[in-house]
Amino acid sequence: MLRGLLSFRGPYRILNFAWFAFFLTFVLWFNYAPFTTVIREDLHLTVAQARTIGLCNLALTIPARIIIGMVLDRFGPRITFSALLIYAAIPCFAFASAQDFNQLVLSRLAMGIVGAGFVVGIRLVGEWFQPKQIGFAQGIYGGWGNFGSFAAEAVLPLIAFGSAFLYAGHENWRLAIALCGIVSAIYGVIFYFNVQNTPPGREYQRPTRNGGMEVTSRKSFWALVLTNIPMFGALALITWRLQLVKFLSPAAMYGIWAFLIVLFAIQTYQLYQVNREVVQGTKHYPPDDRYQISQIMVLNLAYAVSFGSELAVVSMLPEFFEHTFNLSHQIAGPVAATYPLMNLISRPAGGLISDKIGSRKWTLTAMIGGVGVGYMMMSLITGGWLLALAVTMTMCCAFFVFGGAGATFGIAPLIKRRVTGQIAGNIGAYGSVGSVIYATTYSLLPQTVEGNRTFFQCLGMTAIVVCFLCAFVLKEPVVAKSEAFAEDPVLVGH
């Protein structure tokens, strides 16, 4: 497959366009993390305010991934990804020109929508690659795209530092972030004119109904409703956090909570409308056309403890290294970037192992178990450690975190093709739910060694619990005959 990537032909051409689009969305989404300390000092923010901005960065990603999943299934990846990349320039420019805490919060909330870009490529790559290659292809897409978080932490501070020749001191971060928006908008246009939704001769499959995920049994409907509760709960949690830092009044917080309850009721009704015949028992899917929502629920949790923890850790790691080892801001960013650096190899490795080992279930189970052990080991890091040893431990943990995310999406596209966008959106949203819960936990802990230890222990224990769920609840995916690929030489890259 690596030879195919270099050839830039057939499905590999699409894969290259897809992973770089995802890469850019992650550069944009994480361009606050490397400047947390600088922005806090520049705009005279409190520690609580600075951490809340990072939390806002994750908020709207939760509903956005669900909505983008529905838009994607209806209109296709080409239009959806192009529009998202062009839109990203708006919150970039808004954040780069912000002058106070309120403006920072609003622009980061808007930026959270960009984090939904991941969902688009999952469907696009799934359309172009065979099931026997899907794990590695999705791993390349996810791993190389996730590498954008490394680029944000390692490269953006260098751009900001280099711009000192043009601007003085505190303006450097503004130029770096604005530049991200310009590049994204340009690539959005390039993507539109160079990508196709499906290979030649294949029809893009759309859901029979729009407005909610299609399920294939009555029990699955009620389970899907239950899976939506944590998503709205995470939004309520962010609202509460904004009230604590005085961005919202108590009355506004209660008003938003009421709105979220109404929105949940509307979404549940919409799901019912889409699946009314199934719920009423007047429609029955043949066995070959069914899928189990329980499998999606386990994948939701697996992604919450892998990708969700990644988002929370990437946002706090520069500050963690800066304070734990008394590093300068310029050094702490690149050191912390060794964590997302592992995306380059570990997520593709997770997908490849999932393809080759013969069991996607046990690949994911082993990876999530490694996540739990890895974070428990990171909880032991103190300033008394050698920095090189701490970095090595961080990279080892990251291998399982990103490998687990890759193995999750080695399974997700095989569940039900026509609703892959919505399935990916649901799983992806749980990644954001996990990150919100973890980031909120971190924001409430003291900025001390003990606080960091507690944070990593929380990450480790939840991953161990999900590891057991993968082992005892998750089933090996089976591709339905109606959705199997023909042996098309265009698709396999010959």
Confidence of residue 487 (pLDDT cuts 50, 70, 90): very low
Going by the DSSP 8-state scheme, the letter that residue 281 receives in this structure is T
Q: How far apart are CA 98 and CA 269, in angstroms?
A: 39
- Quote the pLDDT of residue 211: 63
Q: How far apart are CA 149 and CA 40, in angstroms?
A: 20
- Quote the pLDDT of residue 311: 80
CB burial class (10 A; 0-12, 13-18, 19+) of residue 250? Answer: exposed
CA distances from 280 to 77, 219, 274, 286 (A): 33, 11, 12, 16
- Quote the pLDDT of residue 210: 62
Mind giving me the DSSP string for 135-162? HHHHHHHHHHHHHHHHHHHHHHHHHHHH
- Quote the pLDDT of residue 64: 83
Confidence of residue 486 (pLDDT cuts 50, 70, 90): very low
Write down the mean pLDDT value for the chain: 84
Residues 383-410: tens digit of each pLDDT: 889 999 999 999 999 999 988 988 887 7
CATH superfamily membership of 2-196+211-483 = MFS general substrate transporter like domains (1.20.1250.20)
**Model-wide pTM > 0.85:** no
Helices (H), 171-292: 172-192, 218-244, 250-274, 276-280
More confident position, 488 or 174: 174
Angle (CA) 479-409-89 rounded to 5° is 130
Cβ neighbors of 312 (< 8 A, separation 6 or more) are 434, 435, 438, 439, 442, 459
Look at residue 267 and give its three-state secondary structure: helix
Q: How far apart are CA 49 and CA 284, in angstroms?
A: 52
Confidence of residue 490 (pLDDT cuts 50, 70, 90): very low
Give yes or no for a contact between 347 and 457, defined as CB atoms under 8 angstroms apart.
no
**What value does the mean pLDDT take over residues 304-327?**
86
Give yes or no for a contact between 343 and 434, defined as CB atoms under 8 angstroms apart.
no
Closest CA to 253 of 241, 265, 261, 262: 241
- Quote the pLDDT of residue 163: 53
Match 């805490």 to its residue by tokens. Answer: 101
Cβ neighbors of 223 (< 8 A, separation 6 or more) are 293, 294, 297
Q: What is the largest CA-CA distance in the chain?
A: 70
Residues 117-157: tens digit of each pLDDT: 888 888 888 888 877 777 778 778 877 887 787 788 778 87
Give yes or no for a contact between 292 and 475, defined as CB atoms under 8 angstroms apart.
yes
225, pLDDT greater than 70: yes
Give yes or no for a contact between 393 and 294, defined as CB atoms under 8 angstroms apart.
no
How close are the terminal C-alpha atoms of the chain, in Å?
Answer: 10
Q: How far apart are CA 92 and CA 424, in angstroms?
A: 26
- Boundaries of every domain in the chain: 2-196+211-483
The two tokens of residue 310 are: 């990644």
Confidence of residue 111 (pLDDT cuts 50, 70, 90): very high
283, pLDDT greater than 70: yes
